[in-house]
Structure 1
Amino acid sequence: MNFDMNKVWSRAIELVRDNFQLLVVIAGIFLLLPTLAAYLLIPDLQVFMDPAADPEVISAQLQDKLGPLLGIGIVAMIFQFAGYGAMIALMGHSRPTVGEALKSGLRVVPSTFGVLAIFLLAYVLAAIVISVPVGIIASLSGLASLAFLAVLVVLAMVIFLLARMSMSLPVLVLEQTLNPIKAVSRSFRLTGPKKWAIMLFWGVLFGAYMVVAVLLTSIFGLIAALAGDSTVAMLILGFTNGLLGMGIGMLVSGLAVAMHGQLAGPSEAELKSTFE
C-alpha cells in the first residue's frame, strides 16, 4: 500500500475541479440548505457554536432547545451523510450519473450512522481508559496539569480514530458494502501501514480548517451583529457556515476518494480498462 500526501492532494483537487459543477449542486442541496435551515429554525444556534460563550448560558439554552436541536441535528446529519456519499460516488472510478451517485449516497446513510456509532463507542471507551487513571493520579498527587495532559491525549486519540476510520465511507460507497463493521475493519486495514502519516495529514488539514472557520466566523459574526435584524443576521451566519461546509465537504470527499485510490490500489474495472 502506498501513501503520498502530495499526490493525494493533487488528485483530490483534480477530482473536485473536473466535477465542480455537479459537486456544487449536490453540496448546495445536502450541505448548504440544511445549515441555512438550522440557523433559521433555531435563532440562538450561534450561541452553541461560539467558543467564547458563557458555559452557563449554553447549558441553559441547551436545556430549553434540546428537543428541536436533536431533531434538526439528526435530519441535518442524514442530509450530510447522503451528500458526502453522493459526492464520493460521483468522483469514484465507476463514473456514475448524478442520479446513480445520489442513490449511492442515500443507500449508505444507515451504514454511515453505524460507523458513527462505532466511532462514538471507541471514543467513549478510550476517554474512560485515559481519563480515569489520570484523574486518580491527579487527585492523589495534586497536579492539576495532569488533567490538561489527559485532554490533549484524548484529543490525539480522537484524531487517531478519525484517521484510522477515514476510509469507512469510501469503502461503503466505492466498494459497495453496507456492513459498517466490515467498512471500519477495511478502513483500519487500509490505513494501518501508513497510519501515522495519514494521522498527520488529517491533523494538519483539521488545524487549517479550524483557523479558517474561526476567522470567517469572527468576520461574518461581526457583520451579522451590525445587521441588527435577527433574521438577516441568521441568514448571514447560516449562509457563511453553509458555504464553508460546502467547500470543506467537496474537498474532503475528493481527498477521501484520492486516498482510497492510493491505499486500495486500482479497482478491477480500472485494471480491465487499462488492458482493453
Structure 2
Amino acid sequence: MNKIWSRAMELVRDNFQFLVVIAGIFLLLPTLAAYLLIPDLQAVMDPAADPEVLAAQLQDKLGPLLGVGIVAMIFQFAGYGAMVALMGNARPTVGDALKAGLKVVPSTFGVLVIFILAYVLSAIVISVPVGIIVSLSGLASLAFIAAIVVLAFVVFLLARMSMSLPVLVLEGTLNPIKAVSRSFRLTGPKKWSIMLFWGVLFAAYMVVALLLTSIFGLIAALAGDSVVAMLILGLTNGLLGMGIGMIVSGLAVAMHGQLAGPSEAELTSTFE
C-alpha cells in the first residue's frame, strides 16, 4: 500500500497541470453550477436538518436535483475516466484521454447499476431476518448491528470493485460485467488490505471534508442567503472534489499497475 501511495503521488505530480484542467472542467464546474442553479442545495444536504422539512424540500426540488445530479454524474464519470487514462502507461495526449473518458461513461453507469443492485440485495438479505428477530424479541440493538454489517459490506464491495474503472479505461474493456469480474479477480489476493486502505482514506477524507465545510460554511453563513454564499460553498466543495478526484484517480492507476502487472505492450517493448 505504501508503494501504491508513493506511485500515485508521483503520477499526480508528473501530470498535475493537465489533471487540474480536466478536474476543473469535469469536477469543479458541475459542482459550482449545482450550487448556483439550486440555491437551497446546502439546506437540502444539511444532515442536521429536520427530517420532515428535509423531505418536503426534497419533494419540491426532486426534478431539478435529479436533472443536475445526472448531468454532474456524467461529467464526473468522464473526468475520472480521462484522468485515469492520462496517468496510464499509454501516455495519451490530453485529447485522447478526454476521448477515453467520454467513451467509458455508459460502461461506468453500468458498473454503478451493478453496485446498487448488489447493495440492495445484501441490505435485504441482512435486514429482513434481523427485522423479524427484532420484532419478535424486542432486541433493538440488533438493528444497529445489522446497519454496521451492511456498511462493512458496502466498503468491502467498493474495495472489490475499485479496479473497474481502470479496467474499463486501461484495458479497453467496455463491458461493465467483465470489468467488475476482472476487478474482483485483481483485488482477490489482497482484498482485506485494499479494503483497509480505501477505508482509511475515506475516513481521512471525511475528517478533512467536515473541517473544510464547517469553516467555509460559517463564512458562507456570514455572507447571508446570496450568490456570494453559494459561490463560497460551491468553490469549497468543488475544489475539494478536484483534489480528491486527482488523488483517487492516481491511486486507482497505481493500484491497477501493481495488481495487474506490466501490460503485454510493455513487455513487448522491453525486448524491442
Normalised TM-score (structure 2): 0.99
Match status 1:72 vs 2:68: yes
Other-structure match for 1:197? 193
Deviates more, 1:164-173 or 1:44-53: 44-53
Q: CA deviation at 1:273?
A: 2.8
**Which residue, out of 259, 262, 267, partners 2:258?**
262
Q: Where in structure 1 do 4 or more consecutive aligned residues deviate above 4 Å?
A: none
- Secondary structure of 1:93's counterpart equals coil
**2:249 alignment partner, one of 250, 253, 256:** 253
Range that drifts further, 25-34 or 226-235: 226-235
Q: For 1:8-40, what per-residue CA distance to the aligned partner results, in whole angstroms no more than 9, with x for missing partners?
A: 000000000000000000000000000000000
Instruction: Provide the C-alpha distance between the structure 1 equivalents of 2:270 and 2:23, rounded to a whole number of angstroms.
Output: 32
Q: Summarize deviations over 1:184-234 as a string: whole Å, max 9, x none.
A: 000000011111111000001011111111111111000000012421100
Amino acid at match of 2:63: G
How large is the Cα RMSD of the aligned pairs? 0.8
Alignment-derived partner of residue 87 in structure 1: 83
1:135 aligns with 2:131: yes
Q: 2:232: which partner in 1?
A: 236
Structure 2 Cα separation of the partners of residues 136 and 168 of structure 1: 36
Equivalent residue pairs, number: 272
1:28 equivalent to 2:24? Answer yes
Corresponding residue of 1:14: 10
AA matched with 2:261: G
Partner Cα distance (1:275, 1:203) in 2: 40
Q: Percent identity?
A: 89
Q: How much does 1:48 deviate?
A: 2.6
The residue number in structure 2 matching 1:47 is 43
Give the Cα separation in 2 of the matches to 1:156 and 1:166: 15
Moved more, 51-60 or 73-82: 51-60
User: Which moved further from structure 2: 136-145 or 92-101?
Assistant: 136-145
Superposed counterparts of 1:132-211, under 5 Å: 132-211=128-207
**CA distance in structure 2 between the aligned counterparts of 1:86 and 1:190, rounded to whole angstroms:** 22
* 2:116 is aligned with 1:115: no
Q: Whole-Å Cα distance in 1 between the matches of residues 47 and 4 of structure 2?
A: 32
Q: Which runs of 5+ in 1 are unaligned?
A: none
- Once residues 185 and 179 of structure 1 are traced to their aligned partners in structure 2, the CA distance between those partners, rounded to angstroms, is 10
SS of match in other structure, 2:262:
coil
Which TM-score applies when normalising by structure 1? 0.97
Q: SS where residue 143 of structure 1 aligns?
A: coil
CA distance in 2, matches of 1:214, 1:25: 26
2:211 to 212, 215, 228: 215
Cα distance per residue 1:24-62 (max 9 Å; x no partner) = 000000000000000000111112322212211211100
Q: Give the distance between the partners of 1:187 and 1:64, measured in 2 at CA.
A: 39
- Name the amino acid aligned to 1:65: K
